[in-house]
Amino acid sequence: GDSVTQMEGPVTLSEEAFLTINCTYTATGYPSLFWYVQYPGEGLQLLLKATKADDKGSNKGFEATYRKETTSFHLEKGSVQVSDSAVYFCALSLIYNQGGKLIFGQGTELSVKP
Amino acid sequence: NAGVTQTPKFQVLKTGQSMTLQCAQDMNHNSMYWYRQDPGMGLRLIYYSASEGTTDKGEVPNGYNVSRLNKREFSLRLESAAPSQTSVYFCASRANWGSGEQYFGPGTRLTVT
């Protein structure tokens, strides 16, 4: 079945370090791909998205490229800040699958130290 | 424009009690969803509603019922709460166009003792 696998956390970085969170997916069809972020005690916020192969989603310095050949959508940021500390979820959606539900990875907790 | 709102924010129930979680969206979206979030498991779909008047089961529907009261509101009911239903519950709605992104409410943290 359709699924998302992302690297396990927690990930701990120093401020201004480079961030990569790996995400790979399995899907029958052509999914849309998303990264969501969850700050402590809050709901999920859409961080970025991509809808087709080679699309690059970007927002707030974060980027991810839809790689169909490797079925991946890795999240990157060149210089993290303390305020980026949160849990990051990779997700896919297939419009014909249960009303376009989101299928999530298990989440990766990021902690950025000053 | 409040987006997706949920009530209550926190709730403690005893085993066997019932309650209804409320959700509303003001973005005129057709589709709405209920997810539960458990540690290390991401979010899992409980029920969804593709349009007003329709509801369908997701991955983990047992022990829950839903009502799509109108286009704005989608409620989740626990008829007889069990400790296994201790979780954080999120309501979401999906844009009618675009790439299918969903917008989430702030969540309800439910503890069943």
Q: What is the DSSP string of chain A?
A: --EEEE--S-EEEETT--EEE-EEEE-SS--EEEEEEE-TTS-EEEEEEE-STT-EEEETTEEEE-BTTTTB--EEESS--GGG-EEEEEEEE-TTSGGG-EEE---EEEEEE-
- Per-residue pLDDT, B55: 95
Whether the CB of B27 is below 8 Å from some CB of chain A: the reply is: no
Phi, psi of A31 (to 5 degrees): -80, 160
pLDDT of amino acid B82: 97
CB A107 within 8 A of CB A89: yes
Predicted pLDDT of residue B16? 97
The better pLDDT of the pair A18, A97 is held by: A18
pLDDT at A36: 97
pLDDT at A107: 93
User: Residue A77: beta bridge partners?
Assistant: A19, A62
B53 near B73, Cβ under 8 Å? Answer: no
pLDDT above 90: percentage of residues in chain A: 82
Give me the phi and psi of A100, to 5 degrees please. Answer: 80, 30
A51 to B92: CB separation less than 8 angstroms, yes or no: no
Model confidence over A26-53: pLDDT tens digits?
998 889 999 999 998 889 999 999 999 9
Provide the number of CB pairs (under 8 Å) joining chain A to chain B.
Answer: 66
Which segments in chain B show pLDDT lower than 50?
none
For residue A100, the model assigns a pLDDT of 81
Nearest CA in chain A to B46: A101
Reported confidence tier of residue A1, pLDDT bands at 50, 70, 90: confident
Separation between Cα atoms, residue B64 and residue B87, nearest integer Å: 13
**3-class DSSP state of B59:** coil
Which sign, positive or negative, has the C-alpha torsion A26, A60, A36, A32?
negative
Distances (CA, A) of A10 to A53, A69, B19: 29, 28, 34
Query: For chain A, what is the mean pLDDT?
Result: 93
> Which residue of A4, A46, A101 is in closest CB contact with B48?
A101
Is B1 within 8 Å of chain A by CB? no
- Name the pLDDT band for A23 (thresholds 50, 70, 90): very high
- Tell me the chain B residues in contact with residue A46 when contact means C-beta distances shorter than 8 Å: 101-103
Residue whose C-alpha is closest to residue A64's, from A53, A51, A48: A48
How far is residue A20's CA from residue A77's CA, in Å, rounded to a whole number? 7
CA angle, corner A58, sides to A55 and A62, nearest 5?
130
pLDDT of residue B100: 84
pLDDT, residue A8, reads 85
Among B52, B104, B108, pick the best mutation site for testing chain A contact (most A Cβ within 10 A): B104
pLDDT of residue B41: 77
d(CA B71, CA B88): 24
pLDDT of residue A41: 85
